[in-house]
Chain A
Amino acid sequence: RKEVEQDPGPFNVPEGATVAFNCTYSNSASQSFFWYRQDCRKEPKLLMSVYSSGNEDGRFTAQLNRASQYISLLIRDSKLSDSATYLCVVIHNYGQNFVFGPGTRLSVLP
């Protein structure tokens, strides 16, 4: 079993749709949680952190459930520019070990 698993995707949604991605992690010692975004043929970049209380950044909402070892990302009012691969990331060992999920690809269609 992989340490970090994500919905396999791809997700093809129309503009304006709401889409949710799920991620589970197996290591209960995981300390911090993040979503990264990777555009086609580009490097991954940090999208947002994920806090236990849940957090929002514009159209993006991230949630963490430590008891279930589950992370989610909700995108509201999808834009064409949201098309990318979304990577779930967990951190161990005081920032020295980043573990990436395999990613979920999103295509927002006109």
Chain B
Amino acid sequence: DVKVTQSSRYLVKRTGEKVFLECVQDMDHENMFWYRQDPGLGLRLIYFSYDVKMKEKGDIPEGYSVSREKKERFSLILESASTNQTSMYLCASSRTGYDGELFFGEGSRLTVL
């Protein structure tokens, strides 16, 4: 059974803390993505990576960074969390190509106080 696993389902952090969200996929996919999902705004792409050590900014990269040191792992980092980063964060992976299947993790709900 294919799987994308996110390290934490629920996190509560304080303003200014550094936050790491980790994601691991077991499908040998080239592409990995971080989205955030907010009511009324839908899914918005933060960053994606199409290869180890490669990264591309998405629509809302400000306040975030990412790391992809191994093909199966893609980390999202909030250097100094702020209350407007309270959200549901979804990691996903896909093969390169047009078959359209994006596999998501279960999500990490982050609350910044």
List A residues at the B interface (Cβ < 8 Å): 31-34, 36, 42-46, 49, 87, 89, 91, 94-98, 100-103
A43 touches B98 (CB 8 A): no
Q: Which residue of B lies closest to A35 (CB)?
A: B100
A98 touches B98 (CB 8 A): no
Interface pairs (16), CB distance under 8 Å: A33-B100, A34-B100, A43-B90, A43-B105, A44-B43, A44-B104, A45-B104, A46-B101, A49-B100, A94-B96, A95-B94, A96-B96, A98-B33, A98-B45, A101-B42, A103-B42
B97 touches A43 (CB 8 A): no
List chain A residues, Cβ under 8 A from B42. Answer: 87, 100-103
Q: How many A-B residue pairs have CB under 8 A?
A: 60
Apart from A43-B105, A98-B100, list 15 A-B contacts with CB within 8 A: A32-B98, A33-B100, A43-B90, A43-B104, A43-B107, A89-B102, A91-B98, A95-B97, A95-B98, A95-B100, A96-B96, A97-B48, A98-B94, A98-B102, A103-B42
B105 touches A89 (CB 8 A): no
List chain B residues, Cβ under 8 A from A87. Answer: 42-43
Question: B18-58: contact bitstring with A at CB < 8 Å (1 yes, 0 no)?
Answer: 00000000000001010100001111010010100000100
Tell me the complex Cα distance, A100–B44, Å. Answer: 8
Interface centre among B98, B100, B102, B105 (most CB of A within 10 A): B100
List B residues at the A interface (Cβ < 8 Å): 31, 33, 35, 40-43, 45, 48, 50, 56, 90, 92, 94-102, 104-107
| A96 touches which of B40, B41, B50, B104 (Cβ 8 Å) | B50
| B102 touches which of A46, A101, A103 (Cβ 8 Å) | A46
Q: Which residue of A lies closest to B49 (CB)?
A: A96
Tell me the complex Cα distance, A65–B104, Å. Answer: 28
A31 touches B104 (CB 8 A): no
Tell me the complex Cα distance, A40–B102, Å. Answer: 18
List chain B residues, Cβ under 8 A from A94. Answer: 96-98
Tell me the complex Cα distance, A96–B94, Å. Answer: 8
Tell me the complex Cα distance, A98–B35, Å. Answer: 11
